[in-house]
Structure 1
Amino acid sequence: MRNVKLLRWLPWLVGAIALLALTILAPFAMKWWAPTGMKWGELADVSQTYSAMSIPLSGAALVGVVWSMVVQARQLRIANDNEMRASQKELVLLALDDPELLVCWDPPATPTTHARARQYAYYNLILSSWRVEYLNGTTPEATTLRSGRVLMRGEIGREFWKTRRFGWEAYSATRGRKDRHFVRIMDEALRLAELDGPTTPPDQYFAPSVQP
């Protein structure tokens, strides 16, 4: 990880060194290129003219550098967040494979059966993946809203958001604006799903198997 960070900043370091060298050598280069007999005072007048012309270019370059640093900071935050979510996903999957590990997590706010707790854990993984895709810009808001609306037509999905929403809201309060907006998108998905009608119970998801 340390080597990756050094490589990320290496182009900026090389650019800074090159700019410093150019600044130091510029007077000698002007003296060498100037016509024979031209004095330093005359060179200074020429350099002042070019300095005035370079101000807008320097400003534009500075804006570009600042914007690039902002983008890099955002990408680094997203990468760290993705890494954290990947680690959390592995822990949840371990708990799903071994039900005894579910009691190592925080107890449910309301009485919940063992099977329903596993279903909640899986739903949490679904919403976590949607959140990452929304934050990264991979999935637009309209698609996220539509997916949440369909998910909450199911009994477990609607029940999950009603009983676990407070945890998502508390987490988003410590994050950025898009995190808080994701919670509002899920709130709107729940509202629209309730307008669609009653929930679909798990036993009505699939048609009965036909016996041979």
Structure 2
Amino acid sequence: MTTARSWEQRARRVRAALAYGLLGVGLLGLITSTPFVLAALAPANTDWGKLSDISQAYGAVSVVLSAIALAGVALSLLYQVRQTRTSNEQAIRDSHLQLATLALSNPDLLQAWSPPVAPVTLKRHQQHLITSLALGELLQRFRIGHLSAEKLAVKLDGHFRGEIARDQWEREGPGWRRTMEAGDRRDRVFVRLVDERYQTAVATGPALAVVEFQDRPDRP
């Protein structure tokens, strides 16, 4: 369902980009054909010298309009490329989520997933996988600009309040660093910010234990 929706969104964006591109090409064609249309419609006794002076002034305007039209085409193509990249990343993310869901639903299949960097119980391994997926979601939103660095920091502060998130990053952080440092600028900014907020959380005080979330005696 999510994949179908992402492809539908991609199709709408491509159609919008093509519409802007066709509009720019049409405007450029209109500018180019105008002198020929005027020549065909002009009376036989037309003062072409006067029209030449007018056309020179018109030429300066047409250059500006042509530049605007070309800029519009370039921007529409750039927008299309960016949206295509975003759609592809979302499709890959959806595929990864489906695999993770399948692995989490069956402990035997989870053994086929990348093994933990250090021995852990099956339950904690599943929890680490969920925590890793949560970080991946934040990374995706940061990549496409839905989260600024400031908002991401707020999200990470909440993320690292829990002991499972801290334990997962302590174990798997080095792997994330190697992967993100090999990526683009936003990937490197992301992993450095995650490290920074993790260190801040640790310095602030102990993490909230799982019992504080779900097994508190004051809850019915």
The TM-score, its normalising length taken from structure 2, stands at: 0.78
The whole-number CA distance in structure 2 between the counterparts of 1:25 and 1:58 is: 12
- Distance, in Å, in 2 between the alignment partners of 1:116 and 1:129 is 20
Secondary structure at the residue paired with 1:79? Answer: helix
Following the alignment from structure 2 to structure 1, what is the Cα–Cα distance between the partners of residues 145 and 77?
19
CA RMSD of aligned residues (A): 3.1
Counterpart amino acid of 2:210? P
Looking at structure 2, the residues matched to 196 and 24 of structure 1 have their Cα atoms a distance apart, in angstroms, of: 67
Partner residue, 2:66: 58
* Counterpart check, 1:86 vs 2:86: no
Q: Which amino acid aligns with 2:139?
A: R
Counterpart CA distance in 2 for 1:164 and 1:62 is 48
- Matched residue, 2:119: 111
Q: Are 2:173 and 1:165 equivalent residues in the alignment?
A: yes
Q: Extract unaligned runs of 5+ from structure 2.
A: 1-6
Range that drifts further, 54-63 or 120-129: 54-63
Task: Verify: 1:73 aligned to 2:81, yes or no.
Answer: yes
Match of 2:187 among 175, 179, 191: 179
Identity of aligned residues (%): 32
Residues 30, 43 of structure 1: 8 Å contact kept: no
Deviation at 1:210, TM superposition (A): 6.5
Amino acid at match of 1:86: D
Deviation at 1:157, TM superposition (A): 0.7
Alpha-carbon distance in 1 for matches of 2:55, 2:219: 92
Deviation at 1:35, TM superposition (A): 4.8
> Which runs of 5 or more structure 1 residues have no equivalent in the other structure?
none
d(CA) in 2 for partners of 1:211, 1:16: 63
Per-residue displacement from partner, 1:155-183 (whole Å, max 9, x unpaired)? Answer: 21112112222333333345432222121
CA deviations on 1:78-103 (whole Å, 9 max, x unpaired) are 11111111110111011111111111
2:116 alignment partner, SS class? coil
TM-aligned CA distance change 1:148 to 1:210, over 3 Å: closer
Q: Which gives a bigger RCO, structure 1 or 2 (Cα 8 Å, sep 6+)?
A: 2
Assess if the C-alpha contact under 8 Å between 1:150 and 1:193 holds in 2: no
- Which deviations, in whole Å up to 9, do the C-alpha atoms of 1:1-57 show, x marking residues without a partner? 7x9497456436644763575366433311144354236666444323211222233
Could you say which residue in structure 2 is the equivalent of 1:142? 150
Aligned length: 211
Measure, in 2, the Cα distance between the counterparts of 1:162 and 1:66. Answer: 45
Q: How far apart, CA to CA, are the structure 2 residues paired with 1:62 and 1:211? A: 64
Matching residue of 1:34: 42
Query: In the aligned structure 2, how far is the partner of 1:110 from the partner of 1:148?
Result: 24
Write the deviation string for residues 125-170 of structure 1: whole angstroms up to 9, x where unpaired.
1112222222333333223212212222322111211222233333
Work out whether residues 128 and 168 of structure 2, in 8 Å CA contact, stay in contact via their aligned partners in 1. yes
Worse-matched range after superposition: 41-50 or 86-95:
41-50
TM-score, normalised to structure 1's length? 0.81
1:152 aligns with 2:160: yes
Does 2:196 align with 1:188?
A: yes
Tell me the equivalent position of 1:199: 207
